[in-house]
């Protein structure tokens, strides 16, 4: 049985940022395209060290930031069947399976591969760590067309760094989650994904 929301996990995460491409807006469902705010794309690799469904890894992409500072996740892949089911059931996250190699969410290199795509990411980080806290709002669309919003709260420590992203083969992700060296932040701490509300 898949645990219900909320989920609390111990994580290491890498988030990188770059300007959104023209394709990014098309990644949004029609219900959300009028809410486009900042033309910034966020990519992420997260290693869940402890949590309600055990350890697993995740890659995700947020094509553009919505108004008012809300995210939408049309692409997310994991290497855990329980996480896949829980993400879909609890938050309408379109999780798909993927394979991961390397130390995800920490400095160093990792490779993630799924059906028709593969991404390699090399992360670097400064030595200095700072206290970190944020409350990220996300909106997803339920199968019946209703939007649901939920918050992801993260508390821990963070370092600034960079992420070098490379797509392998003819990955469709390359059109909006672009290759190159991008500014990044590496975070270690506790993450709470809360109950959604319509």
The mean per-residue pLDDT over the stretch 148-160 comes to 97
Cα 83 off chain centre by: 13
CA nearest neighbour of 73 among 83, 86, 87:
87
Q: What is the pTM of this model?
A: 0.96
**Phi/psi of residue 175, nearest 5 degrees:** -70, -20
**If pLDDT is split at 50, 70 and 90, which confidence band does 198 have?**
confident
Looking at residue 160, what is its pLDDT?
98
Cα 157 off chain centre by: 18
CATH 2.40.400.10 fits 7-132+156-189, yes or no: yes
pLDDT per residue as tens digits for the range 64-81: 999 999 999 999 999 999
pLDDT per residue as tens digits for the range 108-120: 999 999 999 999 9
């Amino acid at each position: 049985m898949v645990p219900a929301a909320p989920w609390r996990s111990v994580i290491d995460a890498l988030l990188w940022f770059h300007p959104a491409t023209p394709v990014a807006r098309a990644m949004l469902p029609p219900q959300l395209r009028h809410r486009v705010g900042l033309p910034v794309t966020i990519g992420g690799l997260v290693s869940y060290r402890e949590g309600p469904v055990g350890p697993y890894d995740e890659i995700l992409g947020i094509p553009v930031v919505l108004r008012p500072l809300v995210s939408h996740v049309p692409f997310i892949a994991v290497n855990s069947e329980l996480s896949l089911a829980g993400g879909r059931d609890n938050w309408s996250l379109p999780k798909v399976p993927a394979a991961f190699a390397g130390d995800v969410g920490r400095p160093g290199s990792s490779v993630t591969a799924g059906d028709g795509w593969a991404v390699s990411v090399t992360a670097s980080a400064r030595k200095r760590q700072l206290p970190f806290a944020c409350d990220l709002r996300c909106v997803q669309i339920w199968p019946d067309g209703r939007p649901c919003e939920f918050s992801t709260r993260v508390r821990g420590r963070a370092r600034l760094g960079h992420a070098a992203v490379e797509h392998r083969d003819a990955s469709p992700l390359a059109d909006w989650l672009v290759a190159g060296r991008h500014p990044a932040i590496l975070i270690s701490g506790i993450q709470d994904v809360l109950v959604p509300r319509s």
